[in-house]
Amino acid sequence: MLSILTGCVKSNGPGTAFVGLHLHTYIGSNLVAPGDLQEFYPDSLGRIEELQYAQFYITNVSFHSTTRGWITLANSVLLKREEYEEYVLGNIPADNYDDVRFTFGLGNTLDQTNPSSYSTSAGEDTVLSAAESFMYQSGAQPPQYSFMKVAGWVDTTTSHKGNAALPNLPYFNYTIGGLGDTLVITLPVQAFSLTPQPYNSIQLVHVICDYGKMLQNIQVTNPTYSTGSSFSNNAQQQQNAINIFNAIKNMFRYECYAPTVDC
C-alpha cells in the first residue's frame, strides 16, 4: 500500500507524481518518535544511546527512473529536524523507479549565504533562514552553515551494558561540516513505482536515518563532554569528526523492501 497524504481532488498533471521523503529517526532497529528524544535505545551492537537533538541538511534529492535515468528535484534543500519526518519535494514523472540519492550538506554556494537573506515567513522550518540560525556558524572564517548538529548520551563501556541513567553516561555534542564538505548518499537499488494521484496527494519514499550506525565506532572518552570540531577543507580536524564524516554513509537505508510502503 502506497503512503499517500490526500488533499483536494484534482489532477497533479498528466503523467506526474507528487513526491516527498519520509525520513525516520532511528537508533538501531528502534524508531525514535518525532519530538520525543528522551528515551534510551540500543544500537545494532547493543550500545545504549539517547539523542538530545539531531538535525542535518540534504540537497539535490534525485530519483532514478528505469526509463529516464536520474531525475533531480529542483531546489531540493531539506533540513531534517528531529521534530519532523515528512518532507515535500515536488512533481516528477510517474514511472518505475529503483534508486534514490541525495547530497549530505549544502555545497559552497548555499554554504556561504547568510540566514538574514532568507525569509522566515514560511515558519520555523525555513531551512536556511534566521529561524534556523542554530545551524549557522557566524564565528567561523568564513561564516558558514554546519551540515550536521547532533548531541546526546552514549554508553562507552566495553560491555555496552552500562547504567542508562543520566548523568552516568558520557555526553557527546558534534558540529560536523563546513565550507566545501558534502557527501553523496546513494541508497541500494530497490524497485518502486510512483503513479499519478489526485492533486496534493503526496507519495512518500520511506528512509531510515540511523544515528546508531553513525556513532557505532565513535568513542566518547571524556566522562562528561566530548566534541568533534567542524569538519572543513583545511584538514585540521579531530579524529572523531573525521570518523563521523566517514560513517554518515552508513546511516541511511529504506524502511522496508518496497520504499513507498509504510512499514
Residue 263 lies in a domain: no
How many domains does the chain contain in total? 1
Cα–Cα distance list, 200 to 12, 196, 245 (Å): 7, 11, 36
260 located within any domain: no
Domain assignment present for residue 29? The answer is yes
Which pLDDT tens digit goes with each residue over 87-106? 999 999 999 999 999 999 99
Which structural domain range is residue 223 located in?
A: 4-254
Residue 196 has pLDDT above 90, yes or no: no
C-alpha dist (Å) from residue 98 to 40, 87, 251? 34, 20, 19
Q: Whole-prediction pTM value?
A: 0.85
Assess if residue 221 is contained within a domain: yes
Q: Kindly report which listed range (11-15, 209-213, 214-218) carries the lowest average pLDDT score.
A: 11-15
Would 232 be classed as within a structural domain? yes
pLDDT cut 70: percent of the chain above it: 79
Separation between Cα atoms, residue 91 and residue 178, nearest integer Å? 31
246 domain-assigned: yes
Q: What is the Cα–Cα distance from 147 to 136, expressed in whole angstroms?
A: 9
Residue 149 lies in a domain: yes
261 lies in a domain?
no
Yes or no: say if 233 and 50 are a contact pair by the CB < 8 Å rule: no
Mean pLDDT of 54-73: 95
